[in-house]
Amino acid sequence: MYQSLDSLNGNGNFYLKPNGVFYIASNNKAHIIPTSNLLNRNNIKYATQSGPMLLIDGKMHHAFKKGSSNVQIRNGVGILPDGNLIFAMSKEPVNFYDFAQYFESLGCKNALYLDGFVSRTYLPSKNWIQDDGDFGVIIGVTNKN
């Protein structure tokens, strides 16, 4: 099922342009691109739109300021140099600049902010179990061994 992309202007993190789309193509390759760059939707298997982009072609989003006092719990997704994905969630409030810098330090060229204070992580192997609250989008990672 396709949902139309939201290219409107508005308030809040989502509308801090460029926002972006994280998607898995039909060949199972992951992509993170600015919303305005998404032209071919025929090869998309799974996708979610969010914003703002944290990194765009190796450059940090122009609106992020070092030392910003706008701190929240944040989570996002980036593509590592080897093509694998990194999902990250802060345990402490962090600003967008520092959060984007984390993905940059891992060598990501593109990264997307997914959500903030409503985010939860369930990772029993790291003793990180947050199973309270309401959920909108759930992203699960499975291992085929």
Question: Cα–Cα distance between 79 and 10 in angstroms, integer?
Answer: 27
pLDDT in tens, 99-139: 999 999 999 999 999 987 677 777 788 887 777 776 666 66
3-state secondary structure of 36: helix
142: in domain = no
pLDDT at residue number 57 = 97
pLDDT in tens, 59-72: 999 999 999 999 99
Question: Cα–Cα distance between 129 and 118 in angstroms, integer?
Answer: 14
20-25/30-34 β-pairing:
antiparallel
Q: Look at the block and give the residue holding tokens 């998309």.
A: 44
Number of structural domains the chain divides into? 1
3: in domain = no
117: in domain = yes
Neighbours of 92 (CB within 10 A): 7
Identify the residue with better confidence: 91 or 80: 80
2: in domain = no
pLDDT in tens, 20-43: 999 999 999 999 999 999 887 788
38: in domain = yes
Q: Which long-range contacts (CB under 8 A, 24 or more apart) does 67-73 make?
A: 67/95, 67/97, 68/95, 68/96, 68/97, 69/95, 70/95, 70/96, 71/95, 72/116, 72/117, 73/116, 73/117, 73/119
User: Are the CB atoms for 83 and 36 separated by under 8 Å?
Assistant: no
- Confidence band for 6, pLDDT divided at 50, 70 and 90: confident
94: in domain = yes
pLDDT greater than 60 at residue 1: no
- DSSP element (H, E) containing 106: none
20: in domain = yes
pLDDT at residue number 115 = 83
pLDDT at residue number 76 = 94
pTM (predicted TM-score): 0.87
For residue 103, the enclosing domain spans 13-60+70-129
